[in-house]
A and B are shown apart, each in its own frame.
Chain A
Amino acid sequence: MQTHTYPRLRAVLLRVAQAIPVVIGVVIISFLLTRALPGDPAVFFAGAAADEASIAEIRVALGLDKPLIQQFFIYVGDLLQGDLGQSISSGQPVASDLANRLPASLELTLTALVLSCGIAIPLGILAATRPGSWVDHLCRVLVTAGVSLPTFFTGIVLIYVFYYLLGIAPSPIGRLDFIYLDPDRVTGFYLIDAALMGDWETWIGAAKQLVLPAITLALFTLAPIARMTRAAMLTALSSDFIRTARAAGLSNRKILYGYAFRNALLPVITTLGMVFSFALGANVLVEKVFAWPGIGSYAVEALVVSDYAAVQGFVLAMALLFVALNLAIDLLYTVIDPRIGFAAK
């Protein structure tokens, strides 16, 4: 047991260590890029009627009167103490903003991905085993439609049909209708927190709010997963080891799920990782339409007003998330395919 865990643990630590230069790079680049943004935050936040003197006062208050290099060291110093700074546009510490909003985005994105996988993977497998059949065509139509309809459009159509016309969906006003109280905060995921409290009313309330935005996002992420599953399955099914298995007279089921699918999973997982990361950033429009207090709309609003601390905090959080995600995916590889050694990476 020990001999088995140790190399893996060491490999994980090694990967984490490798992430450090990446994070340092991200800190420097995000700092420089935000400074390169057009616009002057001191002028912006002084308000329209401010005069020169009050703008100067605000520049000092924001620390923007200091040389760039000094600002950078102050920023890094704060960062080392875990202080991401204060967002000017939301008026809150960036760390607390992210802590509030990241779980909202993650909850939505993960739910959407689970939903999406639940449809896309079986559909992809069916399409691959019966190429050219009606299932294959259905798969093609569905994914084309899903990817070609912009999310805000799908979102508005779903609201129009299920909320406005049919009245079966709840009011699209965020994570919970105003009548429910936020569950006590443990993870920030309302479904988990409500379940932990045993408060099933709130759980149902939160789940209801989640349905439409999750479907919207799922439709959009269907395409890459279904297409990748289909392609990977086709490759796997036409490979030598499947032919051997068939010749050996193994059952169709065993061949399909035991050998072909397991081998096809690797590219699917890779795609899933990519889809997850872009969905997390790209669900701004879904967030806007459903008033979802997520991280995407937060970052966009911060960018528009040149809110340096918030943009830097967002970029840093995303970078860390990506590092963690890649690590998780690499670990998953070794679970799925024991031939992939960690040491080689």
Chain B
Amino acid sequence: MTDTSSRRDFLKMGMAGASVLPFLRAMPAAAQGSDTLVVVTGQTINSLDLHRTGTNRPSYQVAVNCYDRLVSFGTKEAPGGGLSYDYDTIVPELAESWTVSDDGLVITFKIKSDATFWDGSKVTAEDVKWSFDRAVSVGGFPSVQMRAGGFERPDQFVAIDAETFQITLDRPSKLSIPDLAVPVPFVINSAVAKANATDDDPWAMEYLHTTPAGSGAFKILRWSPGEQLVYERNDNWVGGPLPAVKRVVLREVPSPATRRALIERGDVQLSFGIPDKDAAELSELEEVDVYSTPIENCIHCLCTNTKFEPFQDADVRKAVAYAVPYEDIFQAAAYGRGAPLWGGEAEINDIAWPRKTQYSTDLDKAREHMAKSGYPDGFEVPLSINLGLASWMEPTALLIQENLAKIGITATIEKIPGANWRTAALVEKRLPLHLENFGGWLNTPDYYFFWAYQEGHLFNSSNYRNDEVEDLVNATLHMPVDDPAYAPNIKRMMEIVLEDLPRIPLYQPALNVAANGSEGYEFWFHRQLDARPLAVS
């Protein structure tokens, strides 16, 4: 449903009753009543189907708002105000209940009997199977994310009867059920999809790209790529509490200055993903509520690549860690939004992650470590940053460069275009010193370690390898969190990497959202807008 929906449909579908039609366009204020919310964002939605090749991150919100998963996460109070999803609570969405076999290998879901798709047909286990088969078969990001939960092949999914769906795992894992609550395994109306599938396109990628067919809380009323997306409430939604607003208009406004003027004036009710600087300044205004939620399991790091000879020296890495001007970076690059990750205790007593490291800015200690190292006279190194993320990387890199110069390390800043960054930093892993911002969707430390500290894994851009860490991550990745061995193993892992410092944590970034006239905003790990809990205030 792109521009093809006619204006008549649009009006008929609930813009207003026929009696007020002639006046509607003349009275913008009338439409901004309690049933419509206007949201602005700087990002552009390029597909309504998350599984499609080339679908960008902002488009994931369509999977959240228009489709249901079997399960979802609960809600809790967020640090920094507002609400947040709760990783530790799994709540039903399409599933009414589920059971896990004693060996942890078979999960059986009972699907809500009153769950229907938008076209009125019943949501069946067959639809779930078809959708899951699609997610593991299409390749690319969806399949990678499915594998994280242990879902690799269609034969793992069985529709026992219309309302019973069963998953068989190759090994029990604590990540499996949470991985069913991420945006990827969403349930599609398979009858509609199959009717629009072709031999070349068995998964109806072309059709679902522009025409969602789901059971979710919102339908898509209009989509003009690059301009706007209009959600309309599905009154028959059974996946959770019915959204308070009837319509959510999502407008794309690229300029942050314009977005700021709009939210300050109150002409839009929510500005999603605002820059840290605007968040800091808007939070001082009476009428605007700013939510700055530290992003779970995400750390902005300075990475020291072990391929680069001087960084093989533990003293050099420590010297760098003591030279970093943490507070200045946190203020200049993040405007104080997010959470500091320096100046903590060396002793690790809990398994909270991200955690404060034992390092803080201490140039004397840094110089001591340099003097002890194999490079007392310093060396030259390029410090690489991603131009696509220049807003925080550039000020951070400049501040680091300045302090490294004080301990004899001459860093030259190398700016790499966004399109090349992934290849250089993550695939070839060839950048000696660089900034990195990995965040894991599944919120356990072992998941972060799996991606960022295990050898050969994508976000281990430092080429780090430590045999003990390899074993500890393998042991803990699928282990239940309440296993007695879990906490000691995790503590040991943290101890090692904070001593070895392949990644020097700088701070935990925040996702900033400003509201003026709306309430109920909830932070999600996927960092996209969940329109379902929003209400006009």
Whole-angstrom CA separation of A65 from B52 in the bound complex: 19
A43 and B38 contact, CB distance less than 8 A: no
Binds B, one of A110-118, A141-149, A167-175, A325-333: A167-175
Cross-chain contact of A43 among B10, B32, B251, B422 (Cβ < 8 A): B422
Cross-chain contact of A57 among B7, B10, B57, B139 (Cβ < 8 A): B139
Q: Contacts A90-B226, A202-B25 given: A45-B54 contact, CB under 8 Å?
A: yes
Cross-chain contact of A50 among B10, B32, B46, B144 (Cβ < 8 A): B144
Whole-angstrom CA separation of A123 from B228 in the bound complex: 40
Q: List residues of chain B with CB within 8 A of the CB of A178.
A: 38, 228, 230, 249, 251
Residue from A88, A167, A185, A290 with most neighbouring chain B CB atoms (10 Å):
A88
In this assembly, does A306 line the interface, its C-beta being within 8 Å of a C-beta of chain B?
yes
A-B interface pairs (CB < 8 A), number? 165
Minimum CB–CB distance from A97 to chain B (whole Å) comes to 8
B209 and A50 contact, CB distance less than 8 A: no
In this assembly, does B327 line the interface, its C-beta being within 8 Å of a C-beta of chain A?
no
In this assembly, does A278 line the interface, its C-beta being within 8 Å of a C-beta of chain B?
no
In this assembly, does B257 line the interface, its C-beta being within 8 Å of a C-beta of chain A?
yes
B227 and A174 contact, CB distance less than 8 A: yes
- Report the interface size class on chain B: 35 or more
Q: List residues of chain B with CB within 8 A of the CB of A180.
A: 25
Minimum CB–CB distance from A250 to chain B (whole Å) comes to 53
B426 and A164 contact, CB distance less than 8 A: no
Q: Contacts A178-B228, A179-B25 given: A47-B423 contact, CB under 8 Å?
A: no
28 contacts between A and B (CB under 8 A): A38-B419, A40-B423, A44-B422, A46-B141, A48-B422, A49-B144, A49-B451, A49-B458, A51-B144, A53-B139, A54-B144, A61-B53, A90-B44, A100-B226, A152-B255, A156-B258, A171-B262, A172-B258, A173-B262, A178-B38, A181-B10, A181-B25, A182-B7, A182-B224, A201-B25, A287-B254, A289-B258, A291-B254
Q: List residues of chain A with CB within 8 A of the CB of B145.
A: 49
Whole-angstrom CA separation of A160 from B224 in the bound complex: 27
Binds B, one of A13-21, A127-135, A293-301: A293-301
Which B residues are within 8 Å of any A CB, using their own CB? 2-3, 7, 10-11, 24-26, 28, 31-32, 38, 40, 44, 46-47, 52-57, 139-141, 143-145, 209, 224-228, 230, 249, 251-255, 257-258, 261-262, 264-265, 267-268, 388, 417-420, 422-423, 426-427, 451, 458
B53 and A45 contact, CB distance less than 8 A: yes
In this assembly, does A58 line the interface, its C-beta being within 8 Å of a C-beta of chain B?
yes
Whole-angstrom CA separation of A252 from B151 in the bound complex: 87
In this assembly, does A205 line the interface, its C-beta being within 8 Å of a C-beta of chain B?
yes
Minimum CB–CB distance from B387 to chain A (whole Å) comes to 9
B225 and A91 contact, CB distance less than 8 A: yes
In this assembly, does A39 line the interface, its C-beta being within 8 Å of a C-beta of chain B?
yes
Residue from A46, A57, A167, A179 with most neighbouring chain B CB atoms (10 Å):
A179
A49 and B141 contact, CB distance less than 8 A: yes
In this assembly, does A35 line the interface, its C-beta being within 8 Å of a C-beta of chain B?
no
A90 and B139 contact, CB distance less than 8 A: no
In this assembly, does A101 line the interface, its C-beta being within 8 Å of a C-beta of chain B?
yes
Whole-angstrom CA separation of A284 from B47 in the bound complex: 23
255-274 of chain A: CB within 8 A of chain B: none
In this assembly, does A184 line the interface, its C-beta being within 8 Å of a C-beta of chain B?
yes
Minimum CB–CB distance from A88 to chain B (whole Å) comes to 4
B422 and A173 contact, CB distance less than 8 A: no
Minimum CB–CB distance from A313 to chain B (whole Å) comes to 14
B226 and A293 contact, CB distance less than 8 A: yes
Minimum CB–CB distance from A17 to chain B (whole Å) comes to 36
Q: Contacts A58-B139, A171-B268, A297-B254 given: A89-B56 contact, CB under 8 Å?
A: yes
In this assembly, does A76 line the interface, its C-beta being within 8 Å of a C-beta of chain B?
no
B25 and A90 contact, CB distance less than 8 A: no
Residue from B24, B253, B388 with most neighbouring chain A CB atoms (10 Å):
B253
Q: Contacts A38-B419, A91-B55 given: A160-B226 contact, CB under 8 Å?
A: no
B139 and A54 contact, CB distance less than 8 A: yes
B38 and A90 contact, CB distance less than 8 A: no
Minimum CB–CB distance from B182 to chain A (whole Å) comes to 11
A58 and B140 contact, CB distance less than 8 A: yes
B28 and A179 contact, CB distance less than 8 A: yes
Known: A58-B139, A173-B262. 10 other contacts (CB 8 A): A54-B141, A61-B53, A97-B225, A156-B257, A163-B265, A164-B261, A171-B265, A174-B251, A181-B10, A304-B417
A304 and B53 contact, CB distance less than 8 A: no
Q: Contacts A46-B141, A89-B56 given: A290-B420 contact, CB under 8 Å?
A: no
B420 and A89 contact, CB distance less than 8 A: no
Q: List residues of chain A with CB within 8 A of the CB of B28.
A: 177, 179
B38 nearest in chain A by CB position? A178
A306 and B261 contact, CB distance less than 8 A: no
276-295 of chain A: CB within 8 A of chain B: 287-291, 293
In this assembly, does A159 line the interface, its C-beta being within 8 Å of a C-beta of chain B?
yes
A298 and B25 contact, CB distance less than 8 A: no
Minimum CB–CB distance from B129 to chain A (whole Å) comes to 22
In this assembly, does A92 line the interface, its C-beta being within 8 Å of a C-beta of chain B?
yes
Whole-angstrom CA separation of A159 from B10 in the bound complex: 30
Whole-angstrom CA separation of A167 from B264 in the bound complex: 12
Minimum CB–CB distance from B140 to chain A (whole Å) comes to 5
Q: Contacts A40-B423, A289-B257, A291-B252 given: A58-B227 contact, CB under 8 Å?
A: no
Q: Contacts A37-B419, A291-B255 given: A88-B54 contact, CB under 8 Å?
A: yes
A37 nearest in chain B by CB position? B419
